[in-house]
Structure 1
């Protein structure tokens, strides 16, 4: 700490040695600063305020049918990108700022200067924008702001329409691409279905495991029906054999009543009923009754002859009996024939289902590969179809959005405060720059004294000199100041303080005069 204090003291004593040169530098810098501040031309600011109404009655009604852009974000982005080189060039031409600029360098400098001076600021969160520009001429500044307001309003028109047209054009190109992809996917899917048409179900889906299960169930059902038909046929055959054996046994026996002669028996029964009816009206000697009894006797004789012939034929050939004329035999024969036809049909059905089952079982070996290929084709087709439908829907939405923007516009721009130039200059702020010039002058004076103290160093401490030079210190000779020397030092100090105070007082008087002048101008 003592060493630091010693160094600071040494630097301060060195700077004090060159105090007059520093004071001169301070005065020079102060004069230059004041001249610079006073030579800066006055600038006037022109400004205007615009309110952007982003609310619309029609847009909420079209919610869900048309794309609802973020209008506030669009307006904010428009305000941030308004100051571009093409817009600034257009602004310069509209405000006639380029009348005196002929060279390319001058025009570029003017564009850069205008770009830096233009200001677009938002006021809070109410979509209010302030456009401002500063210039040495209030009328020129006002004209620039008027032109900027026109560009700001015009820039919002057509932007949404251009975006909508660009979006529709892009979507149309994408739809054409997806139409080609969809047709290609449909062709691949069609070719696959034609190639594997026998593996498809009735709904057109590829379900080989389900198809195999269905064929297996059909085969089981057909086999069950075949067994039932065979059982029915065998039962009819046994009944037929039994009927045939019964008829043969009756023919072999002497019991004529056991032998059936259906036609003659029917005629005898009819004549007996007729005889009963005649006997109820006539006597036994009536000719009709006598004729009926004679006819019954003739029929019975015919029956006995026929039975005798049947018995003789049965004795000659026991295996082939003419008992086929019986109604029971004929009915059983018909049932058996029907059963034989049904058995043959069911055997063909079982054979067909068995062949299908074997074929499906062989196809199941390659089922995973076929189903994977079918799933991939379906997936590609569904993806392309979904994208195509989405793009068509978005194209309609984009078209409706474009019509909506044409009908309502992006936003409604309302000029709250028209362009107006300030009656008094807003820059430069000389009341602020003058103290800065004073501080710069004082800083320059201190800097000069410090620089000179370092360039022309003087040792004020014997120990510091010995340490710096690395030489032994043999002795110190002290300076004894007499009364005259002390008086001279005091006089020089008074002069220095007076000169420094004069600098500050002069600045103070200038600041007061400047303040009074600004008050009178206001």
Structure 2
């Protein structure tokens, strides 16, 4: 630490020897800096403030129906990406700056100047943006800021419309693609069902259900066939004479049955019983019914007598019995029913055999059907989802068109400045004085290093590496002391004058700007 302090003291002694050089150079640099600052052209700043209202009443009302983009994030990105070359070129046209440009080089310089000078500053969560630009002409600065405000609002609205249109166009393309995929999947599923209709059935029954149903139908048909065969065999036994009572000649001719007349008599007797429950024996309806019954019985007796008179000497044969004739008719019907039931049993058996023969194809068919159904369901679900998204996008576009989502409000229109905003001479003047002092100090240090000297015995011994036998000191006299004091006063006065000059120039500039 002592060595470091000793070295610092040595540097200060060396710089002190060239203090007048440093002071003179500080004055030169300070005065030159003051003139440069004073001669800098004034620049006027025009500003405008825009508030972006993203808290719309429609947003919570349309939640779940319309797409809700992150408006705050979009506005923040817009504020950071608005100043681009295409937008700056559009701004030049909007502010009529292209009238001042004659060559491509001037146009490039103007674009570079605007790109570097335009400012968009946001306050963050409040969505309040300040647009500013500085120019040598206040009217020109105001026109540029006005064009920037229009460009900011237009870019926000056009960007949302472009995003919505692009989203709808993309969704429409996807819907068209999925419509084609869905139609192809439906056709594949239809062709598969047509090819495997026997195994798939009507769609509500699987292979096992069909097997069970066919087995039950076959069992029912076999049972009905057996019943019909039993009935047929019973009729055959009766006609073969196994039932003697049925085929013997009746003792009472009146017991011979005539189906047609007997049926009419039975019907009239039932009707007569009903009439007797309501009327007396003398009622005309009762008398009429009894008269008709008597006529039918008389007709029946005449027909029996006519049958006997045809061949009175011939023995009675079963074929002459109407009951036998009716039994033969029933037997023929039974034979036809047996044939029909046998055909049904054969058909059900054939179907069941075909299903059993196709049992080994069942796993493959089921796997293929599962795959087809899965593809169809996926395409259908995506298609319905895209259609719902398209409707949501349409609602969002309508909301944007009506201006219900985001509203740009110009809080402060572009101002026409009457005082220069730059350069800040009040701040630059002290800064120029500090630069002058720093330049003077740097010059004294440089000269002390170019023309070094030894101010003590120790530094001489350390640098030369030789022993120092002694040192001769300077004896100060009164004249030399007065001269040293006057030099110190003059140097202090020079430094104080420099500081006072900087302060005076700063005050003068502030007075002129105020």
Classify the TM-score, shorter chain: 0.7 to 0.9
> Which residue number in structure 2 is paired with residue 367 of structure 1?
362
The answer as to 2:373 corresponding to 1:386 is no
TM-score (norm 2): 0.72
Residues 387-441 of structure 1, C-alpha deviation per residue, up to 9 Å, x if partnerless?
Answer: 3334444444444544554444765444433332233222222222222222222
Kept in 2, the 8 Å contact 1:49–1:130? The answer is yes
Give the deviation of 1:442 after TM superposition.
2.3
Give the deviation of 1:480 after TM superposition.
0.7
> Which residue number in structure 2 is paired with residue 197 of structure 1?
197
Return the alpha-carbon distance in structure 2 between the equivalents of residues 197 and 371 of structure 1. 12
Range with greater deviation from structure 2 (72-81 or 8-17): 72-81
- Tell me the SS of whatever aligns to 2:144: helix
Return the alpha-carbon distance in structure 2 between the equivalents of residues 16 and 427 of structure 1. 39
The answer as to 2:248 corresponding to 1:261 is yes
Return the alpha-carbon distance in structure 2 between the equivalents of residues 382 and 259 of structure 1. 72
Return the alpha-carbon distance in structure 2 between the equivalents of residues 9 and 68 of structure 1. 72
Give the deviation of 1:64 after TM superposition.
5.6
Residue correspondence of structure 1 range 310-325 to structure 2 within 5 A: none
Range with greater deviation from structure 2 (501-510 or 487-496): 487-496
Residues 102-137 of structure 1, C-alpha deviation per residue, up to 9 Å, x if partnerless?
Answer: 332232222222232222334565544333222222
The answer as to 2:500 corresponding to 1:505 is yes
> Which residue number in structure 1 is paired with residue 42 of structure 2?
42
> Which residue number in structure 2 is paired with residue 319 of structure 1?
none
> How many residues are matched?
463
Residues 130-153 of structure 1, C-alpha deviation per residue, up to 9 Å, x if partnerless?
Answer: 332222222332233333334344
Kept in 1, the 8 Å contact 2:221–2:345? The answer is no
- Tell me the SS of whatever aligns to 1:426: coil
Shift of the 268–489 alpha-carbon distance from structure 1 to 2, 3 Å rule, reads closer
User: Where does the alignment leave 5 or more consecutive residues of structure 2 unmatched?
Assistant: 258-307
> Which residue number in structure 1 is paired with residue 11 of structure 2?
11
Give the deviation of 1:357 after TM superposition.
3.8
Give the deviation of 1:215 after TM superposition.
1.2
Shift of the 34–228 alpha-carbon distance from structure 1 to 2, 3 Å rule, reads same
The answer as to 2:443 corresponding to 1:441 is no
Give the deviation of 1:329 after TM superposition.
13
Shift of the 262–133 alpha-carbon distance from structure 1 to 2, 3 Å rule, reads farther
Return the alpha-carbon distance in structure 2 between the equivalents of residues 425 and 401 of structure 1. 46
Return the alpha-carbon distance in structure 2 between the equivalents of residues 343 and 219 of structure 1. 20
Return the alpha-carbon distance in structure 2 between the equivalents of residues 340 and 442 of structure 1. 138
- Tell me the SS of whatever aligns to 1:419: coil
> Which residue number in structure 2 is paired with residue 133 of structure 1?
133
> Which residue number in structure 1 is paired with residue 509 of structure 2?
514
Give the deviation of 1:512 after TM superposition.
3.1
Alpha-carbon RMSD across the aligned residues, in angstroms, is 4.4
> Which residue number in structure 1 is paired with residue 467 of structure 2?
474
Return the alpha-carbon distance in structure 1 between the equivalents of residues 417 and 128 of structure 2. 20
Kept in 2, the 8 Å contact 1:212–1:360? The answer is no
Residue correspondence of structure 1 range 29-428 to structure 2 within 5 A: 29-54=29-54, 66-67=66-67, 71=71, 73-122=73-122, 125-156=125-156, 158-203=158-203, 210-220=206-216, 222-223=218-219, 226=222, 230=226, 233=229, 247=243, 261-267=248-254, 348-408=343-403, 411-428=406-423
Shift of the 149–326 alpha-carbon distance from structure 1 to 2, 3 Å rule, reads closer
Give the deviation of 1:482 after TM superposition.
0.9
Kept in 1, the 8 Å contact 2:44–2:136? The answer is yes
Kept in 2, the 8 Å contact 1:46–1:132? The answer is yes
Kept in 1, the 8 Å contact 2:53–2:127? The answer is yes
Shift of the 362–119 alpha-carbon distance from structure 1 to 2, 3 Å rule, reads same
> Which residue number in structure 2 is paired with residue 275 of structure 1?
none
The answer as to 2:479 corresponding to 1:483 is no
Return the alpha-carbon distance in structure 2 between the equivalents of residues 243 and 355 of structure 1. 36
User: Where does the alignment leave 5 or more consecutive residues of structure 1 unmatched?
Assistant: 249-257, 271-298, 311-321
Kept in 2, the 8 Å contact 1:51–1:416? The answer is yes
Return the alpha-carbon distance in structure 2 between the equivalents of residues 478 and 131 of structure 1. 72
